[in-house]
Amino acid sequence: MNWYAPGITGSGMDCLKAKARREELQYMSYRDMLTTLYNRNKYIQVVDSAQGKTVRRTGVAYIDINGLNQTNDSYGHEAGDKLIVNTGQSIIDVLPENAYRVGRDEFVIICFDMEEEIARKKLLTICENIAEKNVKFPMGVIWRESLDFLENMLKEADDLIYVEKKKYYKNTDILKYFIK
């Protein structure tokens, strides 16, 4: 069956198909297929683009799901994926273009050029949304009026998670994996 589009020749159609394929590949290279959040590739690109620049009024948050391994072991990977999807959806509902799934159960939110009060309200809404879905998680949040090294701020937020993780896993033998 031949498809006909007036005014578009065979080579023109090939160009359209090639363009659509490039757009699809671009989307796939920067999106996490499970959550549709941006992925680690896009996160690295954003962090690299901030390299050497002063960033103003910026908030970052790290989120890490607690108990994903236990969920996978006890209820299967489909249940674990549901935890990841529920967390991702809770983020998408509030800050879809500022969020990244950077690891298996790790998420980062970067709010550039946003007032602290607005950033904190949005992050609180995300926390409430995640908690409503019965997902347990620590969140490390940092906000700065001005900074020269975004990577340092991200590391600081990530470090906050491990303090909370240690508390969560305090009475289990899993703690050894979180103590560095």
pLDDT in tens, 117-154: 999 999 999 999 999 999 999 999 999 999 899 999 99
Q: Give, for 72, the enclosing helix (H) or strand (E).
A: helix 68-75
pLDDT mean across residues, the chain: 87
Q: Say whether pTM exceeds 0.75.
A: yes
What pLDDT is attached to residue 173? 47
In order of start, what are the domains of the chain with their CATH numbers?
52-177 (3.30.70.270)
Sign of CA dihedral 131, 133, 135, 139: negative
Return the higher-pLDDT residue of 27 and 69.
Answer: 69
pLDDT (0 to 100) of residue 167 = 78
